[in-house]
């Protein structure tokens, strides 16, 4: 009887500890999700702002060149006026052979005067536009500094919360080893009826719907970024054959191609966990979360290409499995 009571009390204590740990996990997950949303928004705004700053700098250079060209024209006109000297209407009347010649000379002088006036007006307009562009550039640079600070702050918060989330999860995992329980704690599940059957990040993660958000150079975001601690396992989200590559933007990359031609793409890995050409099932580890390529924080960039065509938004599918 006493042993039964002790077992019951131990079970109750374990359940209480698990419930408390799961509440802490939910809190850490919420804070990570908020930091993820801040980071994604700051990244998108920063990349758009960088394009705008580059365009303004190019416009300033063009305007400065135009001003120099106009100034050279004004200098040439001044030199010509000095060399030819002033000519009065009386001088022209006396030196003209006819009224027609006098009229032609006066009309020519009038056109020269109008040309000089036009040059000065064009110079003033370009100088004003140049000043406006310089003011816009200064404002954008100030905004860039503020956005960079926000980006870095969110990035630091992500590092703190991913570490916290991993520690909580590892504690939970030690207390409850059953795989299905671990998946449930993480909010992950299996979706056997969809193409994306498993969450591609097998561990604590956070993501927002950033598909289609602007990127620098006129690009758009063609996937979803799953924020996770470095080294977190990356798994095949469906069955297929693994291939591997690398690029400046994606860093270390992997693909899983199904027989139908549809495939998923995994970028910014820190390394591979399997060889190229291997057939894998959903849930097989293929790599590790990293920050290679153009990645501000450790995360998995995940894309879904039905039929081998263009990328479609995998966010709704990820909500079912992650």
pLDDT digits (tens, 9 = 90+) for 122-175: 667 777 887 887 887 788 788 888 878 888 888 888 888 787 777 776 666 665
Question: Residue 291 corresponds to which tokens in the numbers above?
Answer: 């920050």
Exposed / middle / buried, residue 127 (Cβ in 10 Å: 0-12, 13-18, 19+):
middle
Task: Specify the long-range contacts of residues 180-184, CB closer than 8 Å, at least 24 apart.
Answer: none
Cα separation, 170 vs 25, in Å, equals 11
Query: Is 253 in contact with 238 (CB distance < 8 Å)?
Result: no
Instruction: Go through the domains of the chain in sequence order and give each one's CATH number.
Output: 1-187 (1.10.287), 188-322 (2.70.70.10)
Q: What are the CA-CA distances from residue 20 to residues 17, 40, 47, 61, 168 (Å)?
A: 5, 30, 41, 61, 10
> What is the predicted pLDDT for the residue at 175?
59
Reference 46, options 133, 146, 154; nearest CA is: 146
Cα separation, 57 vs 134, in Å, equals 8
Query: Which distant-in-sequence residues (6+ apart) come within 8 Å of 63 by Cβ?
Result: 126, 129, 130, 133
Cα separation, 197 vs 294, in Å, equals 28
> What is the predicted pLDDT for the residue at 255?
97
Query: Which distant-in-sequence residues (6+ apart) come within 8 Å of 27 by Cβ?
Result: none
> What is the predicted pLDDT for the residue at 15?
56
> What is the predicted pLDDT for the residue at 245?
95
pLDDT averaged over consecutive 10-residue blocks of the chain (322 residues)?
A: 32 55 72 80 82 85 78 64 49 48 45 56 75 81 82 81 75 56 60 91 87 80 90 95 94 96 96 94 95 88 96 94 90
């Amino acid at each position: 009887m006493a042993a039964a009571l002790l077992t019951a009390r131990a079970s109750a204590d374990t359940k209480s500890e698990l419930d408390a740990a799961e509440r802490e996990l939910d809190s850490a997950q919420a804070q990570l999700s908020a930091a993820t949303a801040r980071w994604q928004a700051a990244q998108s705004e920063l990349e758009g702002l960088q394009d705008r700053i580059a365009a303004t700098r190019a416009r300033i250079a063009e305007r400065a060149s135009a001003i120099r060209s106009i100034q050279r024209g004004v200098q040439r006109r001044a030199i010509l006026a000095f060399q030819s000297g002033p000519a009065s209407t009386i001088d022209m009347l006396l030196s003209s052979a006819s009224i027609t010649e006098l009229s032609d000379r006066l009309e020519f002088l009038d056109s020269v005067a109008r040309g000089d006036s036009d040059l000065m007006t064009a110079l003033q307009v370009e100088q004003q536009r140049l000043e406006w562009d310089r003011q816009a550039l200064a404002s954008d640079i100030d905004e860039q500094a503020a956005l960079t600070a926000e980006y870095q702050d969110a990035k630091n918060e992500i590092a703190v919360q991913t570490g916290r989330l991993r520690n909580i999860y590892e504690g939970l995992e030690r207390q409850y080893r059953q795989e299905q329980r671990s998946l449930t704690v993480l909010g992950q599940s299996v979706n056997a009826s969809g193409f994306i059957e498993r969450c591609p990040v097998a561990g604590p993660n956070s993501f927002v719907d950033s598909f289609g958000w602007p990127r620098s150079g006129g690009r758009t975001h063609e996937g979803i970024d799953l924020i996770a601690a470095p080294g977190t396992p990356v798994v095949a989200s469906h069955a297929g054959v693994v291939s591997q590559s690398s690029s400046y933007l994606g860093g270390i990359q992997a693909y899983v191609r199904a027989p139908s031609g549809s495939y998923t793409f995994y970028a910014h890995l820190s390394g591979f966990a399997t060889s190229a050409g291997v057939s894998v099932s959903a849930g097989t580890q293929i790599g590790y979360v990293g920050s290679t390529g153009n990645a501000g924080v450790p995360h998995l960039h995940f894309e879904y290409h039905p039929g081998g065509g263009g990328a479609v938004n995998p966010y709704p599918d990820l909500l079912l499995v992650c």
